[in-house]
């Protein structure tokens, strides 16, 4: 009997599902041992149109449930609960599901501020009310998946690397354990590190980094650590893995600092506190950060980000 897989996308961008397709030939190998019974972004599954009035949302039973996205609307919550009910094993797929991801940046605003920004701007027609009919209501906060349902496996990444998706599903199909390493992007970065330098203020990322000898992007040991050059790099506080089986951090090999998309190294970690600590340890004045909300740009779920006044936005 093939292993049955179901998938749902909550408050998400569909990038995680594209990562499934990005497996390439491995996706075809996977289809030899699994059966996809429900995955609206990749196959024809009709249930959304009945969602508004459905008291109980029934999804096909599956052994493995892939759930991408965070939970911000009542519809997201209803789908998450239905997936938990219909799937034996839930994978939180992607950093939105594991830590709130980009959508959880909304947590630094109230719902009133968000709706005002969308529906009462200089460029929109004047309105005296926000839409309430035929749209799912907003929850007060944007939640990571495990704030609302039990999650059996966390697969972070924005999106997760296709190799990890493939390896994880294959391991589950064989009844084997699968463990992602708990190490940082820095642990796997061969940039030259010389200790605390003379740089004390962060530079605008628009400035080019200094390359040691050449711009050979396949050999990151040819350049000096971004933080030591004064560029914000989230490598010290971000879980390694974005390179998949190739094991090279994607942004670093592209000549860009890490933005933190794999979330904290340990599930409960706090990327904001961690990077402030790392910057200070490198002699960088944290007062030179232009703002601090985006230090949690991938992990603002679990109550980490809260609405703040515009006045104090820089220092929160």
In the complex, the residues that contact ligand SF4 under the rule CB under 6 A are 12-13, 15-16, 68-69, 94-96, 101-102, 158-159, 185-186, 189, 191, 193, 225-227, 233, 235-236, 238, 242, 249-252, 257-262
Gap between the Cα atoms of 282 and 274, Å rounded = 12
Nearer to ligand SF4, 54 or 257 (CB): 257
Nearer to ligand SF4, 102 or 180 (CB): 102
Cα angle for residues 138, 140, 141 (degrees, 5° grid): 100
> How would you class 144 by CB atoms within 10 Å of its CB: exposed for 0-12, middle for 13-18, buried for 19 or more?
buried
Q: Which two tokens stand for residue 47?
A: 């249930």
Gap between the Cα atoms of 256 and 292, Å rounded = 20
Q: For the chain, how long is the longest CA-to-CA vector?
A: 64
State in angstroms the smallest separation of the CB of 205 from ligand SF4: 13
Nearer to ligand SF4, 180 or 233 (CB): 233
In the complex, which residue's CB is closest to ligand SF4? Answer: 235
Cα angle for residues 41, 15, 83 (degrees, 5° grid): 50
Nearer to ligand SF4, 38 or 161 (CB): 161
**Are the CB atoms for 84 and 150 separated by under 8 Å?**
yes
**Are the CB atoms for 236 and 278 separated by under 8 Å?**
yes
Nearer to ligand SF4, 34 or 274 (CB): 274
State in angstroms the smallest separation of the CB of 142 from ligand SF4: 11
State in angstroms the smallest separation of the CB of 305 from ligand SF4: 16
Gap between the Cα atoms of 274 and 266, Å rounded = 11
Gap between the Cα atoms of 70 and 101, Å rounded = 7
State in angstroms the smallest separation of the CB of 250 from ligand SF4: 4
Nearer to ligand SF4, 130 or 199 (CB): 199
Nearer to ligand SF4, 130 or 203 (CB): 203
State in angstroms the smallest separation of the CB of 160 from ligand SF4: 8
State in angstroms the smallest separation of the CB of 257 from ligand SF4: 6
State in angstroms the smallest separation of the CB of 137 from ligand SF4: 21
Q: Can you give 257-311 as a three-state secondary structure string?
A: CCCCCCCCCCCCCCHHHHHHHHHHHCCCCHHHCCCCHHHHCCCCCCCCCCCCCCC
Gap between the Cα atoms of 35 and 44, Å rounded = 14
Q: Residue holding tokens 């990749």?
A: 42
> For residue 80, which of 93, 224, 241, 28 has the smallest C-alpha distance?
93
State in angstroms the smallest separation of the CB of 52 from ligand SF4: 23
Q: Which two tokens stand for residue 121?
A: 């701007």
Nearer to ligand SF4, 252 or 295 (CB): 252
């Amino acid at each position: 009997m093939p292993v049955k897989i179901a998938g749902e996308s909550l408050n998400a961008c569909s990038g995680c599902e594209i990562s499934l397709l990005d497996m390439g030939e491995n996706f075809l190998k996977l289809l030899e041992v699994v059966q996809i019974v429900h995955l609206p972004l990749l196959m024809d599954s009709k249930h959304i149109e009945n969602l508004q009035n459905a008291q109980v949302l029934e999804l096909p039973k599956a052994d493995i449930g892939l759930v991408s996205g965070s939970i911000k609307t009542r519809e997201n919550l209803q789908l998450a609960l239905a997936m938990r009910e219909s799937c034996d094993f839930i994978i939180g797929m992607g950093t939105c599901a594991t830590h709130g991801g980009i959508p959880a940046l909304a947590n630094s605003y109230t719902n009133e501020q968000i709706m005002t920004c969308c529906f009462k701007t200089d460029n929109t027609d004047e309105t005296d009310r926000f839409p309430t009919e035929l749209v799912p209501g907003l929850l007060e906060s944007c939640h990571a998946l495990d704030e609302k349902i039990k999650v059996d496996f966390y697969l972070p990444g924005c999106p997760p690397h296709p190799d990890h998706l493939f390896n994880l599903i294959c391991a589950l199909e064989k009844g084997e354990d699968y463990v992602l390493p708990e190490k940082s992007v820095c642990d796997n970065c061969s940039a030259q590190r010389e200790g605390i330098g003379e740089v004390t203020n962060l530079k605008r990322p628009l400035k080019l980094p200094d390359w040691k000898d050449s711009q050979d992007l396949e050999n990151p040991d040819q350049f000096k650590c971004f933080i030591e050059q004064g560029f914000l790099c989230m490598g010290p506080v971000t879980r390694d893995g974005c390179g998949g089986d190739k094991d090279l951090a994607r942004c670093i090999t592209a000549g860009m600092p890490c933005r933190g998309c794999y979330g904290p190294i340990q599930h409960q970690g706090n990327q904001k506190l961690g990077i402030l600590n790392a910057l200070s340890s490198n002699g960088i004045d944290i007062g030179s950060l232009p703002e601090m909300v985006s230090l949690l740009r991938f992990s603002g779920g679990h109550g980490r980000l809260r609405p703040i006044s515009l006045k104090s936005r820089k220092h929160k």
